Structure 1
Amino acid sequence: MLQSALATGLRQTMLHLVKPVLNPLVPVSLQRMLTRQAYRSSIPPRGCQFENTELGGVPTLKTHYGTGSKHAVLYLHGGAYIIGSAQTHRGITGHLAKSSGATIFTLDYRLAPEHPYPAALDDAMSAYQALLSEGYEPKHIAIAGDSAGGGLSLALAMRLRDEQLPLPSSLTVFSPWTDLSQSELSRPVTEAVIPQPWIDNAAQLYRGNESVTAPYISPIYGDLSGLPPILIQVGSEEILLNDSKRLANKARQQATPVRLEIYNSLWHVFQIHAGQLARASEALHTAGEHIRSNMTL
């Protein structure tokens, strides 16, 4: 009963306080400031330690829980490529550090419109290669991300494969944004977080001079074969639900191991409420297990 009431309250908060800010008529700078405030309610577990550092010249927040680890997760935050940061995602990455037992490196990749594609992907490549240079073995590295960061995670893995560089042990994506053309969005009764005009505008700001269906921009149009095992988590009440289903179906068709988890009655990147909402905590526990199980000792 308490969890049901909490879920209702969190949904209403997203719908009435967060969603109105995500509007193409609101200046991006103001969107960034207001969403930073909203993310203050996403709290990491006690015992997490944070350190500002860099990977490959890209500002990075290093997070670990308990003792240090030889395992690493490169985390790519969401925000439609125009908002969000390593700091806004301390809650979700803190809980992922606890559940995975790995050190989380959350990248502050460059954002559009100041830095359109391929800036974010180039930063992710530099950071991943820096992890390799620092001595992390590919089998001890995972890549994870939410929303745009989920799409960026897939694009990074595809580019690593295409350039014949060592692949990570797994991919974990929460409500991934994989089709910036918005051609086959779901139509939930209530979408608590994402207004379509906002992501339509963000897609145009991010793509620069490239086609919106270019595979490294919209991975659903790319080749998913040969990628490491993928875990997809998505809420049933979000417009990106169908894109997650399409991603899972295409991965299966191309013989890439994939698991799709749909959380009924939950919304876009509900995992930010871990530590409060039991199902969000359970989802991140499952994500941590996926990461651990695919990292060979």
Structure 2
Amino acid sequence: MFSSKSGGSSSLAERFALSLLAARTVHAVVGPMRPAGLPLQAMRTAADCVGAVRNPRGARVHRVRIGAMTGMWVAGTGRGGRSSAGVTLYLHGGGFVVGSSQSHYGVVKRLSEASGMPILVPDYRRAPEAVFPAAVDDALAAYRWLISEGYSPDRIRLAGDSAGGYLVAALLCELRRRRLPMPVGALLMSPLFDLNIDRAARTWDPLIPLGFGNACIRAFLGETDASDPRVDVLAADKSGWPPTLIQIGSTEFLLPEAEAMAATFDAAGVPCEVQVWRGQVHVFQTMARVLPVARTALSRGGAFLRDVAGATPRGIVERSA
């Protein structure tokens, strides 16, 4: 039910320069760190500072209270502010330990513009202060809050990047387990799926230092085993899940598990499209200010969110030329 084709590409020089820059900067700075103490607080502050730099075109933004959480509504200029087509619940990445609605403002604003609908970004609890299932419970609370605000499930989309992509999958597992209504579709950008560090057997990645990534997973799980059925989203039955689009860079060590996830959708008869973007690094969409291919990916992701309610997507894996 799925095959492989192009997700888009950039020039060879652009791909090489991006990977080299990521390897020399992120690996050098983040690689020796662990998700605790002052280094973690510094990373969180730095991420939020990046998100504080507003795009010149701006967006309509306001804070909301979602039970015990805060959150941010982001509506891009133009058609991004229209809620008649529906809404998107966005779960931000950051290895479960970093990131917030503030840090992801830029990518969410562009996605709102591309999809033509407002996006809610909840500030779910992060590790190591809060371990599994705290973040999943918060994602479920945000989904239920949207329904209580008058958005029926057939008007709700889910989206997330990196660890947020895992949380989207975990939320779908929880909805199925509780027999709650599903959203209409899901967009996952560079998603993490396998929290079993030994099974995943990951190697070098140009952006994610392996040691730091594994430490983040351990911090998120706490005392919960990665084989716990509530954790292992790869093994979950995808029957009843919504059509899903996965975007991922060809350089990422998360690529094999993205393709493995697509196979589980295939087994359940659920449409899943995987776009593999040649030469791109982890969550390259966040570099849309300077990377044309990132803007293209967000445009296609937004189109998927906009159109998924009225279409039946093909289940394919798409590889870039």
Shift of 1:4: 5.5
Q: Which amino acid aligns with 2:20?
A: Q
Judged with a 3 Å threshold, the aligned counterparts in structure 2 of structure 1 residues 216 and 253 are, in CA distance, closer, same or farther, namely same
Q: Distance in 1 between matches of 2:229 and 2:210?
A: 21
Structure 2 unaligned segments of length 5 or more: list them.
1-9, 312-321
Match of 1:136 in 2: 151
Select the residue among 122, 134, 137 that pairs with 2:137. Answer: 122
Q: Distance in 2 between matches of 1:20 and 1:258?
A: 36
Q: Distance in 1 between matches of 2:32 and 2:148?
A: 40
In terms of mean alpha carbon deviation, does 234-243 or 205-214 score higher? Answer: 205-214
What is the SS of the residue equivalent to 1:268? coil
Select the residue among 28, 32, 39 that pairs with 1:20. Answer: 28
Q: Distance in 2 between matches of 1:52 and 1:6?
A: 37
Shift of 1:6: 4.9
Judged with a 3 Å threshold, the aligned counterparts in structure 2 of structure 1 residues 20 and 103 are, in CA distance, closer, same or farther, namely same
Shift of 1:252: 0.7
Shift of 1:241: 0.8
- Are the equivalent residues in 1 in contact too, given 2:69–2:122 (CA < 8 A)? yes
Match of 2:39 in 1: 30
Match of 2:227 in 1: 213
Shift of 1:13: 3.4
Q: Distance in 1 between matches of 2:96 and 2:45?
A: 15
Match of 1:237 in 2: 251
Matches within 5 A, 1:54-203: 54-66=65-77, 67-70=81-84, 71-182=86-197, 183-185=199-201, 187=203, 191-203=205-217
Q: Which amino acid aligns with 1:114?
A: E
Matches within 5 A, 1:245-260: 245-260=259-274
Q: Distance in 1 between matches of 2:95 and 2:258?
A: 16
Q: Distance in 2 between matches of 1:105 and 1:155?
A: 18
- Are the equivalent residues in 2 in contact too, given 1:142–1:169 (CA < 8 A)? yes
CA RMSD of aligned residues (A): 2.3
Q: TM-score scaled to structure 1, two decimals?
A: 0.91
Judged with a 3 Å threshold, the aligned counterparts in structure 2 of structure 1 residues 193 and 35 are, in CA distance, closer, same or farther, namely farther
- Are the equivalent residues in 2 in contact too, given 1:45–1:275 (CA < 8 A)? no
- Are the equivalent residues in 2 in contact too, given 1:142–1:168 (CA < 8 A)? yes
Shift of 1:5: 4.9
Q: Which amino acid aligns with 2:40?
A: Q
- Are the equivalent residues in 1 in contact too, given 2:33–2:39 (CA < 8 A)? no
Q: Which amino acid aligns with 1:21?
A: V
Q: TM-score scaled to structure 2, two decimals?
A: 0.84
Q: Distance in 1 between matches of 2:83 and 2:185?
A: 17
- Are the equivalent residues in 1 in contact too, given 2:157–2:186 (CA < 8 A)? yes
Select the residue among 226, 236, 240 that pairs with 1:226. Answer: 240
Q: Distance in 1 between matches of 2:241 and 2:305?
A: 15
Structure 1 unaligned segments of length 5 or more: list them.
none
Shift of 1:11: 3.1
- Are the equivalent residues in 2 in contact too, given 1:175–1:268 (CA < 8 A)? yes
In terms of mean alpha carbon deviation, does 20-29 or 129-138 score higher? Answer: 20-29
Q: What is the number of residues matched between the two proteins?
A: 294
In terms of mean alpha carbon deviation, does 20-29 or 87-96 score higher? Answer: 20-29
Judged with a 3 Å threshold, the aligned counterparts in structure 2 of structure 1 residues 95 and 36 are, in CA distance, closer, same or farther, namely farther
What is the SS of the residue equivalent to 1:220? coil
- Are the equivalent residues in 1 in contact too, given 2:126–2:135 (CA < 8 A)? yes
Structure number with higher relative contact order (C-alpha < 8 Å, ≥ 6 residues apart): 2
- Are the equivalent residues in 2 in contact too, given 1:179–1:213 (CA < 8 A)? no
- Are the equivalent residues in 2 in contact too, given 1:185–1:241 (CA < 8 A)? no
* Sequence identity (%): 33
Shift of 1:296: 4.9
Shift of 1:47: 3.5
